[in-house]
Amino acid sequence: MTDRVLAKARDLGFDSVGIASATEALDVDHSRYEAFLEAGMHGTMAYLAENREARRSVDGPHILEGAKSVICIAQRYQRSREEEAQDPPLAQSIARYARGSDYHNFLRRKLRKLAAFVRSLGTDDAPVQARPLADDAPILERAWAARAGLGFVGKNGLIIVPGLGSMLLIGEVVTTLELVPGEPIAERCGSCTRCLDACPTNAFPKPFVLDAQKCISYVTIEQRGEVSTKLIDAIGEHFFGCDDCQTVCPFNASAKPRHVKSQFSPRPEWSDMDALHLLQLSEVQIAAVVGSSPLKRATPAGVLRNACLVVGAKREEKARAPLVALCDHVDAGVRQAARWALGKLR
């Protein structure tokens, strides 16, 4: 059964797959999660603090009663350096996973197919249940991925799969089918601290701990309104998200070249678009441009705010007129960013 599940996951195009036993709770990882919340490092992401106890185990009403196994998968989104070097300037200021289509759609489709296959392994006398998960349930995804031997957790808190790196999307299928679990991989970062040293905003108070409130990805995607004055200068030309702690990782530099789905290639819209152009659009127009891409997560006001920060970091003199107009914008974050950018022009 285990071999058939692993083979099916690979046939569906997942780059890596591992299996964890669901019979033991994540007590140690859950304690770290609680400490993260108690320190307020989750910022305004209130959903991370919901269903706290449910995140300790997948065997229960929040995920799946009677769960015995967690099938963990990884899908790579890192493309070749040569291909990424050809990305339009605006796309290069967007985190790699978000330059194309919203990954949730096709990742969930494949996970649903995997879950359906797992259910088919049951019989009338011994039916099998399986639930696909992709960023949409209260579980500690990276902890399960590490337990499954999919990879190990690096000092930047991300799952690193040897040979593939960390630029990966992860998902799960939780099932009542008892499968043979994999062996966890020992952490291999050693004395390397490149990811911690590369963070522009010093968002890592210590190895393996991220203060999301200081993370550029959090600020440019999740945070609404004004940006902390302690961080605004360090954001630089990051328009949406940040890959800095991954770009410098030796495991990504040595990742084996392989075909990456076209969904991760930049959307055509980014070819004829830059931050200056975005400043001259209404929020309705921005929503149309962003469409169903991952950028919709930032909201139109957030996209406009981030565009102000980018042109300010670039000191684009041509942006002066639209920035002046945005100083009276209804959103406080846009107003602050526009005034900050004008200050950079002076």
| CB contact at 8 A, 67 and 59 | yes
| CB contact at 8 A, 215 and 235 | no
Separation CA 80–CA 255 (nearest Å) = 10
Q: Determine the number of helices (DSSP H) and then strands (DSSP E) in the chain.
A: 15, 6
Q: Which two tokens stand for residue 292?
A: 């169903």
Bridge partners of 153? 159
Q: Which are the contacts of 316, defined by CB distance < 8 A and separation ≥ 6?
A: 275, 276, 345
Separation CA 2–CA 5 (nearest Å) = 5
Separation CA 341–CA 177 (nearest Å) = 56
Cβ atoms < 10 Å from Cβ of 55:
23
| CB contact at 8 A, 118 and 303 | no
Separation CA 58–CA 68 (nearest Å) = 9
Nearest to 279 by CA among 338, 220, 340: 338
Phi-psi region of 225 (alpha: psi -120 to 50; beta: other; left: phi over 0): left
Question: Residue 135 catalytic?
Answer: yes
* Cα–chain center distance at 52: 21
Say which of 15, 124, 135, 331 is annotated catalytic.
Answer: 135
Q: Which two tokens stand for residue 151?
A: 């990879």
- Catalytic residue numbers read 135
